[in-house]
Amino acid sequence: MRLDPLLRIAPSLWSDVTTQLHHRTEGRHEAGAFLLGRKDQASRTAVSAVYYDALDPDAYMSGVCILHAEAFGRLWDRCSELGLSVVADVHVHPGRAGQSRSDRENPMIARAGHLALILPRMARPPIRRWSIGLYEYLGDHRWRALGGCGVARFLKIEEH
């Protein structure tokens, strides 16, 4: 039996990430981050974030988030240093939080079970939970949408 994914994130980390992402857009391009934490069979808990432009200074040059190969080496090094793993990625869109064709065809972590969040309106506050796109990668460029009105079932912004 396959368990539904559950991502937990403390309100303080959520606030930091959304504020940083909004700031990093400079009001004109996408921005993103990897959420680092711990996983078990039932859930994942984010405890830290590493921003795409910290891994690759050119990540936002095209206007959308593109990471070059060497950025992933830096990401794995960071995970190793902290004793954490990638539990999800998050990036912003200028409008709604639907997946673009590029998002669907180029998962940041191409492993079944990976979670990708998309924040609408360049993460400009307030971010309503129901407006968040949450997608589970199934492999072979297939995704399952978990966002919208039911997102609170999969995304818990609470102390843990």
Whole domain around residue 60: which residue ranges?
7-157
How many structural domains is the chain composed of?
A: 1
CA distance 132 to 149: 9
Reported as a single tens digit per residue, the pLDDT across 30-61 is 999 999 999 988 799 999 999 999 999 999 99
Q: Is residue 41 part of a domain?
A: yes
Cα 110–chain centre separation: 13
Within 8 A by CB and 6+ apart from 48, the residues are 13, 35, 36, 37, 82, 84
Q: Is residue 44 part of a domain?
A: yes
CA distance 25 to 53: 11
Q: What is the CATH number of the domain that holds 59?
A: 3.40.140.10
Reported as a single tens digit per residue, the pLDDT across 63-116 is 999 999 999 999 999 999 999 999 999 999 999 999 999 999 999 999 999 999
Q: Is residue 2 part of a domain?
A: no
Q: Is residue 123 part of a domain?
A: yes
Q: Is residue 1 part of a domain?
A: no
Q: Is residue 76 part of a domain?
A: yes
**Residue pair 151/134 in contact by the 8 Å Cβ criterion:** yes
Within 8 A by CB and 6+ apart from 31, the residues are 20, 21, 22, 24, 25, 51, 52, 53, 60, 65, 91, 92, 122, 123
pTM passes above 0.85:
yes
